Amino acid sequence: MNKKFAHMMAWIVMFLWGMSYLSIKVVVKEIDPILSAFYRYLVAAIILYISLKIKFPEEKILKKDRGKMALGGLFGISLYFTFENLAVSYTTASNVSVLIASIPIFTIVSQRIVFGEKFTLRKILGTTLSLIGIVIIVSSKGKVSLFSKGTIGDLMALGAALSWVMYNIVNSKVEGEYKSITVTTYQAIWGCIFLSPSLLVANLQMPSMKVALNLLYLAIFCSCIGFAIYIYCLEKLGATVITTYVNLQPMITLVTAALILKESITIWQGMGSVIILAGVFLVSFSGKKKIVDRQQRRADYNI
């Protein structure tokens, strides 16, 4: 019964996260992309901090890990969501979702460079397929110009993916044993600090009710509730299974963006998406369970 419930919850959290790109698209039309990331994580950080202090008041960060918490907030929240929100403001939510789904591919490459992990045939094939898919999506608009809004958006999405890879590397070097909510809370606080200069340069205005509701959805349902469900599923189903569910997000975004935002999906974008996801699936099932477990134990709540 617990397993069936966990599978159902996994579908729910992937739906929440897949829909997050649509909410971002709505928010950045009215609020500066960087400022909207600040608002989102200000709300999330307050909720997470109160929850942490109520449930685990004894949790502390070791002095030697404080700098890593700051770096985690810089790469995993400040830079990641700056790139992601800017990407959504320039290109389609569908493109951003699919390109960010290439994170496991860049992670495999970084593991090879930083930790010397070996490439298997499946990893090589998966990486190659995903890179081909990325090229197809970026070039699907016809003539590629580095100065076109679509191409800038695609490059921003890849910047978000690389920021998350750096976040994973930083987290892999944390020495203390912490609960996931502890790492997430303190990195969210640091992320807010790094994003706070946007208050000085952005045009501050009262958001409309539609935008405010979407911001609350991102902060509460995606960054707080979604994270809690993800950790529950990770404990009940294991890292390998939940990794497979994560790969469903781009497909959810593609369908919902077409239905709700009326985004058009070309045959080339569809083909590139399928190729990227095929590569990601190959990579997800190619590693030893202990490697996947180590990566997934981090505070990987993303969107």
Residue 301 covered by a domain: no
Cα–Cα distance, 15 to 8 (Å, whole number): 11
What does the angle CA 111 – CA 112 – CA 117 come to, to the nearest 5 degrees? 85
Quick one: pLDDT at residue 1?
58
Question: For residue 46, what are its two tokens?
Answer: 């307050």
Question: 152: alpha, beta or left, given left = phi > 0 and alpha = psi -120 to 50?
Answer: alpha
Residue 303 covered by a domain: no
Written in H, E and C, the secondary structure of 6-28 is: HHHHHHHHHHHHHHHHHHHHHHH
Cα–Cα distance, 225 to 181 (Å, whole number): 12
Per the prediction, the chain carries an average pLDDT of 80
Over 60: is that where the pLDDT of 256 sits? Answer: yes
Quick one: pLDDT at residue 156?
92
| 3-state secondary structure (DSSP) of residue 129 | helix
Residue 57 covered by a domain: yes
Question: For residue 205, what are its two tokens?
Answer: 């205005």
Full residue range of the structural domain in which residue 63 is found: 2-296
> How many residues are present in the chain?
303
Over 90: is that where the pLDDT of 295 sits? Answer: no
Residue 146 covered by a domain: yes
Q: What is the pLDDT of residues 61-94, one digit of tens each?
A: 999 999 999 999 999 899 999 999 999 988 888 7
Residue 302 covered by a domain: no
Please give the tally of structural domains in the chain: 1
Quick one: pLDDT at residue 265?
74
Q: How confident is the model at residue 260 (pLDDT cuts 50, 70, 90)?
A: confident
In the chain, the amino acid numbered 134 is I
CB contact at 8 A, 272 and 140: yes
